[in-house]
Each structure stands twice: as structure tokens, then as C-alpha cells.
Amino acid sequence: MDLFISSERPIKHWKDFDDRLRKLELDRDSGREVIDRLGETYEEIFARNVQGAHSLSLAVRTLQWALCAFRPFDIEELRAAVAIDDDVVTGKLLLDICSNFILVDSQGFVRLAHISVKEYLYYSHLMHSGRACERIQ
């Protein structure tokens, strides 16, 4: 199974995300506005990716692990950590519900898609405002 991003398997909604990032103009007067708008963009993407309580729970646990891991891990390790008692969880499902937030790099490790994702998640209400890492330790 090919988990890498390619032209045959693009990140869901990547064009929308990329278009929004390109529209953000960073200058001295609008720095705070850019940060606020980026957070709003991440909120919209998350809401579009997550459909229901089960996928919300999986998404939050997946992003907590991606945010707080002490070492790199592959998609199967992430699936095992997140699934717990849920046999229907697949690596593809986790990548789908967390698209634009996590990806599998060229070495096969799961990582956050961008430093801005890390900052957003760390301070997000989804991750309990900076306490996400305390919850998985």
C-alpha cells in the first residue's frame, strides 16, 4: 500500500488549503490577522475532515500522538496506539481524517504537515490548550 502523497493520491482539500495560505499577506500591520486567519483555516479543514463522534475521537488521539511523540513512528505504530480496542481503524482512515495535518514522509514516518500545524494544535481547544501531551503520557 502506497502511503506517500503523489499526483495520484493528493492530500484532500490541499488546493483549498494552499489557496488560502497564498491569500494571506504577511506584513507589519497584519501579522496577528494572518495568525488568526490561519487558525480559522485549520478549524475549517478539521471540521471538513471529521464526520461524527467516532472520527472526531480518532482525529484528536491521532493528532495528540503526532504532536507529542518522543520519537518518529510509522503509520502502523500510530494505528496501534490510536485504535486501542477498535479493529476497524486503518492507517488510511487516520491519514484521511487528519489530512492536511499529518503526512507520511519519504522515510515512512508520520509527521505533522507543517510547523504551523504544530503551533495550531498545541494551542488549540481540540488539544485542550497546550495540555495534549500530558494526556498521552
Looking at residue 90, its amino acid is: T
Q: What is the pLDDT of residue 137?
A: 47
- Within 50-112, where are the H helices? 53-68, 75-83, 91-97
Q: What is the pLDDT of residue 83?
A: 85
Residue 16 has which C-alpha cell? 483549498
Single out the residue of 99, 97, 101, 105 nearest to residue 116, CA to CA. Answer: 101
Could you give the CA distance from residue 67 to residue 71 in angstroms, rounded to a whole number? 11
Q: What is the pLDDT of residue 39?
A: 83
What would the pLDDT profile of 38-65 be if each residue is shown by its tens digit? 888 898 999 999 989 989 989 999 999 9
Q: What is the pLDDT of residue 30?
A: 60
* Contact criterion met (CB below 8 Å) for 12 and 47: no
Q: What is the pLDDT of residue 79?
A: 93
Q: Which H or E run includes 132?
A: helix 132-136
Q: What is the pLDDT of residue 122?
A: 83
Q: What is the pLDDT of residue 123?
A: 81
Q: What is the pLDDT of residue 129?
A: 46
Angstrom CA distances, 20 to 25, 28, 53, 84, 104, stand at 10, 19, 27, 36, 23
Determine whether 133 is exposed, middle or buried from the number of CB atoms within 10 Å of its CB (0-12, 13-18, 19+).
middle
Neighbour count for residue 72 (Cβ, 10 Å): 12
What are the 10-residue block averages of pLDDT along the chain, 137 residues in total? 42 61 54 73 91 90 91 93 81 94 94 90 71 55
